[in-house]
C-alpha cells in the first residue's frame, strides 16, 4: 500500500516538474529576426515566439532577391506569411512583391497608404498591389497603431509622413541633441519620408526599423522629446546612407547593436558611420556587405560582415580612381539595376529573449555574439 502511494506521489511530482519545465520552455521562446541580403535593398523576416511570421519589404525585382528571401523562409521553417509590411514604394523595397506572392501565401498586407509619387519606380505596381491585397487582408496603419501579430508588441512609430508623439513606456524625456540639429536640403524621392517605421518589443528587448525615413523627419520624431526611449537593436535607417541616421535619432536611441542593410557601394555613409560609432553605448555594427566607400577605417571587422569580396576584388576597388556617385557618402545604387548575383548570399540573424538578451549570428561564418540583458531606465 505504501509502495503504491509512494509511486503515485513520485509520478505526481514528475508530472508537475515536467509541466513546469514545459511552461518555462514555452515562456522563453525567442523572437527571431532575419536580415536578408538584397544588396542595398531591404527584406527583413520576423518570426514571433508564437510562430507567426512577417516580412518587411521584398527587395528588388528580377527574382534574385525573391530566391534569397525564400531561402531564409526555408531556414526559418516558414511556409506562409502572416504579414507582408511594405514600408514605402521604392523599387529596392517592393520590387520583389509580385514574384514573392506567386511563391508563398500572404495573409495580410500592411502599408502607409497610397504612394505620394506619380512616377512609379516599379511600373504598374499600385494596380498590381491592389489586386493582391484585394484577395487578402489589407491594413493601412498610422503612428501609434499596433500591427496585430501575436507573440510580441509591434508598434507603428512613423507612417505616411506622420510621426509618433505620444511617448511609449520608457520614452518622453527631452532630447538634448535637438539643440544641435541642422536640417538638410534633401532632394531624394518623397516616398522615403513616408516610410512606415516600427518598434518591436519582446519583454525587455526592443528593436527599431524606420526603413528609409529621412533626416528631417527623424527630427520630427525625436524632437524636442524622445518618444521611444532607448533600444537594443537598430536596423540602420536608409541602408546607412547620409540622408538619414542623424545624431538626434541614433544618439538618443542609444542602440547596443546596429545591423546595416547595405551593399558594396550603397550605404555605410561618411556621416552615418561615424554617427553610429560615436553613439553612447554602441557595441557593434553588423553589415550585410563590406563597403568600398567606408574603407578600412569605418568598416567593421570581417566577422561582423555577412558578405565579403575576395581579396583581389577588394584590392582593385580600393586602388581604382574615384567614381562618380553611389559611394559610401550618399546613397546610389540599388535603383532598378541589380548587380549580378553572388552565390551564396548570406544573411544576419538576431535571436532575442524576453529578458532583453539577444544573439546575433553571421550565416557566412557562423560567428555569433550574445549581448547580455542590460538594465533599462523607466
d(CA 178, CA 75): 42
Nearest to 101 by CA among 126, 120, 81: 81
Would you place residue 15 in the very low, low, confident or very high pLDDT band (cuts 50, 70, 90)? very low
Cell numbers given for 301: 571587422
Beta-carbon contacts of 244 under 8 Å, excluding residues fewer than 6 positions away, are 192, 210, 212, 213, 214, 215, 218, 237, 238, 272
Fold of 27-371: Metallo-beta-lactamase; Chain A (3.60.15)
pLDDT value at position 262? 97
pLDDT (tens digit per residue) in 108-137: 999 999 999 999 999 999 999 999 999 999
Average pLDDT for 259-282:
97
Q: Which helix (H) or strand (E) holds 32?
A: strand 31-35
Mean pLDDT for all residues in the chain: 89
Share of the chain above pLDDT 90, in %: 80
Nearest to 285 by CA among 239, 243, 339, 344: 239
Judge whether residue 4 has pLDDT over 50. Answer: no
Helices (H), ranges, the chain: 2-27, 64-76, 91-94, 97-103, 125-133, 215-222, 247-253, 272-277, 295-298, 311-319
* Contact call for residues 241 and 269 (beta carbons, < 8 A): yes
Share of the chain above pLDDT 70, in %: 84
pLDDT (tens digit per residue) in 145-161: 999 999 999 999 999 99
Q: How many CB atoms lie within 10 A of CB 173?
A: 14
Judge whether residue 297 has pLDDT over 50. Answer: yes
Specify the range with the lowest mean pLDDT, choosing from 11-15, 164-168, 171-175, 187-191. 11-15
Backbone Cα Rg of the chain? 22
pLDDT value at position 309? 80
pLDDT value at position 162? 98
pLDDT value at position 343? 84
Average pLDDT for 199-206:
98
Average pLDDT for 222-241:
98
Amino acid at each position: 500500500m505504501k509502495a503504491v502511494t509512494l509511486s503515485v506521489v513520485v509520478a505526481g511530482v514528475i508530472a508537475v516538474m515536467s509541466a513546469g519545465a514545459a511552461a518555462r520552455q514555452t515562456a522563453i521562446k525567442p523572437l527571431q529576426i532575419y536580415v536578408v541580403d538584397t544588396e542595398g535593398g531591404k527584406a527583413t523576416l520576423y518570426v514571433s515566439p508564437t510562430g507567426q511570421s512577417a516580412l518587411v519589404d521584398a527587395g528588388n525585382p528580377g527574382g534574385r532577391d525573391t530566391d534569397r528571401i525564400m531561402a531564409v523562409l526555408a531556414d526559418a521553417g516558414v511556409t506562409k506569411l502572416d504579414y507582408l509590411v511594405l514600408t514605402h514604394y521604392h523599387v529596392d523595397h517592393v520590387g520583389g512583391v509580385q514574384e514573392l506572392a506567386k511563391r508563398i501565401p500572404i495573409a495580410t498586407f500592411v502599408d502607409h497608404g497610397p504612394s505620394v509619387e506619380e512616377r512609379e519606380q516599379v511600373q504598374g505596381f499600385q494596380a498590381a498591389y491592389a489586386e493582391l491585397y484585394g484577395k487578402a487582408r489589407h491594413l493601412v496603419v498610422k503612428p501609434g497603431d499596433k500591427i496585430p501579430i501575436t507573440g510580441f508588441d509591434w508598434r507603428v512609430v512613423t507612417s505616411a509622413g506622420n510621426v509618433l508623439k505620444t511617448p511609449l513606456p520608457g520614452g518622453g524625456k527631452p532630447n538634448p541633441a535637438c539643440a544641435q540639429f541642422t536640417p538638410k536640403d534633401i532632394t531624394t524621392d518623397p516616398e522615403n519620408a513616408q516610410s512606415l517605421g516600427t518598434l518591436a518589443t519582446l519583454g525587455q528587448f526592443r528593436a527599431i526599423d524606420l526603413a528609409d525615413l529621412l533626416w528631417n523627419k527623424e527630427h520630427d520624431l525625436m524632437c524636442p522629446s524622445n518618444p521611444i526611449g532607448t533600444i537594443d537593436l537598430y536596423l540602420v535607417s536608409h541602408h546607412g546612407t547620409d540622408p538619414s541616421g542623424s545624431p538626434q535619432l541614433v544618439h538618443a536611441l542609444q542602440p547596443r547593436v546596429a545591423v546595416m542593410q547595405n551593399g558594396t557601394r550603397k550605404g555605410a555613409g561618411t556621416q552615418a558611420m561615424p554617427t553610429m560609432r560615436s553613439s553612447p553605448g554602441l557595441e557593434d555594427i553588423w553589415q550585410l556587405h563590406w563597403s568600398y566607400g567606408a574603407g578600412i577605417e569605418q568598416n567593421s571587422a570581417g566577422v561582423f560582415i555577412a558578405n565579403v569580396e575576395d581579396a583581389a576584388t577588394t584590392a582593385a576597388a580600393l586602388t581604382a580612381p574615384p567614381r562618380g556617385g553611389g559611394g559610401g557618402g550618399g546613397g546610389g545604387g540599388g535603383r532598378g539595376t541589380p548587380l549580378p548575383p553572388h552565390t551564396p548570399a548570406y544573411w544576419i540573424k538576431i535571436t532575442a529573449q524576453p529578458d532583453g538578451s539577444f544573439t546575433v549570428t553571421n550565416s557566412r561564418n557562423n560567428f555569433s555574439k550574445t549581448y547580455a540583458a542590460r538594465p533599462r531606465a523607466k
